[in-house]
Copies of this chain bind each other. A is one copy, B any other.
Amino acid sequence: MSLFLQVVSVSKAVEEVRNIAIRCGDEPVPLMEALHRILAQDVRADVDIPGFTRSVVDGFAVRAADTTGSSDAIPSMFTYRGRVVMGAFADTPVKPGECIYVPTGGILPEGADAVVMIENTEQIGGEILVKKSVAYGENVLLFNEDFSRGDVVCTRGKKLSPRDIGVLAAAGCIQVPVVRMPKVGIISTGNELVPVSKKPLPGQIRDVNSYVVASFVREQGCIPIFFGIIRDDRDALRSVIGKAAAECDAVLISGGSSKDDRDMVAVVIGELGEVLIHGIAIAPGKPTIIGRCRNIPLIGLPGHPASAFIVLIAIVSHLFAGMTGKTENSIRVVQATLGQNVASSKGREDYVRVAVRDGIATPVLGKSGLLNTLVQSTGVVRVPADSEGLETGTRVEVILW
């Protein structure tokens, strides 16, 4: 067996996690609890929206053609024919030269096809002066202009935003078919790890990864389940990874992912199932393992939190997208202009931390292993594997944290 990792490209690794991701089943949840869940099926409107032509302002319902040429200087005069009561039909249609007052949300009277805002009118006895012309349909929402009954209002795979929740409410979807949240087992390995509550002695470090990984998992809409800190002990590791694989939909193991003698995660995954990839051409994050055990994806992450985090963003987010059927990766990407040269090694994807301000992405200097650059940056710029670096002024995509 080689002493070194046999690295594959990031795109190959992403393809592999997409490949082993099994979509979780569906479950209905009440609309009020559906925020940020992934929609499992297309949802259609059960009614026309709106179900009647309604005013979107307080004003006077008119025939638009009657207002042609109306202005402050030369207003048109309309005969006032009463008011529409909220939620009720007008008693009488609007005839040429007539108007009826209609409140915001009121049913547009028959005959009318637009509404003049009250701000653009003046009442003089029984007459209304209109000081501004309106076009057909202006200041009204027409019957089914938003959605027709049966239209898809929200497509499967969407991560539901507050706006989507609103549209589902309008469509009468009170029980929302969403994808079950994947349960993700979290294991930290390494003799040097101590719980966060302990002060580390020389040679020891706190178990930062359980917290970083769990928070990322939660942010991605999955449920983290902890299996604790495991020593570099092959039997203990095999036992806990097996248990996690039996109880979860995926397992993330951080630490012990390289090829040092004490790095046993790949060996144990091989014993429990199969190792598909060991080593990715990504920096930081090279010592990453992709494997599975009875259809459960097992991912070995680098022990260093900063490296592990890049792998979560670049690779593991795609695994979760596959498991939830999410159509848009929720990792946000924005365009920016690079503010300084960035050097990179050919043959691997470099993820360079940057701070974005006013459209300029400035690299945050410091070693990739530092936590402080991780919190001082607003995201990362991916330098492609075939590039030796990027020059100042290059348009880049920034993956926002």
Interface residues of A (CB under 8 A from B): 3-4, 31-32, 35-36, 46-47, 49-52, 54, 56, 58, 86-89, 103-107, 118-119, 141, 145-147, 153-154, 161-170, 172, 174, 190-192, 196-197, 199-212, 214-216, 218-219, 232, 258-263, 287, 303-305, 309, 332, 334-336, 358-359, 367, 369-372, 374-375, 395, 400-401
Question: Is B86 in contact with A309, judged by CB distance below 8 angstroms?
Answer: no
Q: A104-B260, A145-B367 are in contact. List 4 more A-B contacts (CB 8 A).
A: A87-B191, A89-B203, A153-B375, A359-B395
Q: How far is the CB of A80 from chain B (nearest CB, A)?
A: 15
A170 to B204, alpha carbons, bound, how many Å?
12
Question: Is B211 in contact with A166, judged by CB distance below 8 angstroms?
Answer: yes
A169 to B141, alpha carbons, bound, how many Å?
53
Residues of B within 8 A of A199 (CB): 46-47, 172
Q: How many subunits of this chain does the assembly comprise?
A: 2
Question: Is B167 in contact with A371, judged by CB distance below 8 angstroms?
Answer: yes
Q: Pick the contact of A105 from B89, B205, B395 — CB < 8 Å?
A: B205
Q: Provided the pairs A118-B3, A164-B375, A215-B35 are in contact, do residues A86 and B169 lie with their beta carbons within 8 angstroms?
A: no
Residues of B within 8 A of A164 (CB): 375
A201 to B51, alpha carbons, bound, how many Å?
8
Question: Is B258 in contact with A58, judged by CB distance below 8 angstroms?
Answer: yes
